[in-house]
């Protein structure tokens, strides 16, 4: 079996009487894109929040490369290699693309810089940032302020910020949101290639992209996993079609 980068075991979370996560389990293996889908209110964001660490589960565990991180802060998890992008942009708009990516590299390094001299830090962070910018096709835009980048370029810069920290696992919350067809195609192609470098847990509403990219899909509805498997099996699953895919009459 392929190595498990991330594992979620029996996560439960209730908001008052509303059960947003009901014994949710899934894993993310080396080399794969695992898509998390489900109708609005299914509990996708709540699950991502528990994995990233800003929502505390009522029960269950989160394991990163085999290590139990359930009680750790989001910053500690980032330092252990959990990379993520946010649905709402967190770029520092006045700063250059390179500076933004350097901040991403710093989030991974955290406090582990005690021994390094400032100039060494600067060089190491710059190298990590430039490599990540090149990876997402923004090498030529390194000195441009984030504010002057197009929407599609900003989404790729957000990805570069996460990649600059050399993550072991990547959580992406709607990376195609708000993109035109060209930007979406570009991002899809990028993610397709990236899976070989870092496994990706992908929350995305664009079903064409999901079915094209995912190695496996987990479907949530009302806080529960209602189906899990490769795209062909999910497409054919009666419960999924009834609660979700049926909504837009997809064959």
In the chain, count of helices (H) and strands (E)? 9, 10
Q: Which is nearer to Mg ion, 50 or 100 (CB)?
A: 50
| 88 half-sphere exposure, CB direction, 13 A CA radius | 1
Q: How many residues does the chain have?
A: 251
CB of 171 to Mg ion, least distance (A): 12
| Cα–Cα separations (whole angstroms), residue 94 to 99, 108, 127 | 10, 22, 21
Among 3, 10, 18, 147, binds ligand ADP (CB under 6 A): 18
Comparing CB distances to ligand ADP, the nearer of 38 and 104 is 38
**In the complex with Mg ion, which residue's Cβ is closer, 46 or 186?**
46
Q: Show the tokens assigned to 134.
A: 């090149």
By three-state DSSP, how is residue 25 classified?
strand
Which DSSP category does 96 fall into? B
Contact range with ligand ADP by CB under 6 A, out of 40-48, 60-68, 112-120, 147-155: 40-48
The whole-angstrom distance between residue 78's C-alpha and the CA centroid of its chain comes to: 12
Binding flag, residue 183, ligand ADP (CB under 6 A): no
Q: Which does 167 bind (CB under 5 to 8 A by kind): ligand ADP, Mg ion, none?
A: none
Using CB under 6 A as the binding rule, whether residue 20 contacts ligand ADP is answered as yes
Residues linked to residue 59 through DSSP beta bridges, in sequence order: 12
Give the residue, chosen from 12, 22, 25, 45, that forms a contact with ligand ADP under the rule CB under 6 A.
Answer: 45
Summarize as ranges the residues that interact with Mg ion (CB under 5 A). Answer: 44-45
Does 41 contact ligand ADP by CB under 6 A?
yes
Count how many Cα atoms sit within 13 Å of the Cα of residue 41 in the half-sphere of its side chain.
5
| 71 secondary structure, DSSP code | T
Piece of the chain touching ligand ADP by CB under 6 A; list 33-41, 67-75, 82-90, 97-105: 33-41
Contact footprint for ligand ADP (CB under 6 A) = 15, 18, 20, 38, 40-46
């Amino acid at each position: 079996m392929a190595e498990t980068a991330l594992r979620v075991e029996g996560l439960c979370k209730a908001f008052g009487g509303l059960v947003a996560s009901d014994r949710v389990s899934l894993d993310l293996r080396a080399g794969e894109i695992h898509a998390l889908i489900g109708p609005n209110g299914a509990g996708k964001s709540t699950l991502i929040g528990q994995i990233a660490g800003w929502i505390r589960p009522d029960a269950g565990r989160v394991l990163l490369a085999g290590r139990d991180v359930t009680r750790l802060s989001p910053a500690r998890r980032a330092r252990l290699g959990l990379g993520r992008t946010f649905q709402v942009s967190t770029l520092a708009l006045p700063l250059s693309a390179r500076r933004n990516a350097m901040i991403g590299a710093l989030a991974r390094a955290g406090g582990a810089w005690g021994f390094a001299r400032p100039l060494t830090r600067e060089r190491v962070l710059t190298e990590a940032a430039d490599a990540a910018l090149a990876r997402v096709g923004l090498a030529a835009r390194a000195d441009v302020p984030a504010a002057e980048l197009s929407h599609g370029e900003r989404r790729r810069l957000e990805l570069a910020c996460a990649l600059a920290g050399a993550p072991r696992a990547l959580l992406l919350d709607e990376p195609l949101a708000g993109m035109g067809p060209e930007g979406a195609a570009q991002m899809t192609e990028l993610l397709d290639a990236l899976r070989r470098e870092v496994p990706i847990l992908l929350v995305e509403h664009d079903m064409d992209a999901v079915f094209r990219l995912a190695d496996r899909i987990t479907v949530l509805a009302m806080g529960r996993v209602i189906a899990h498997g490769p795209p062909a099996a999910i497409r054919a699953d009666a419960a999924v079609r009834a609660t979700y895919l049926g909504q837009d009459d997809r064959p």
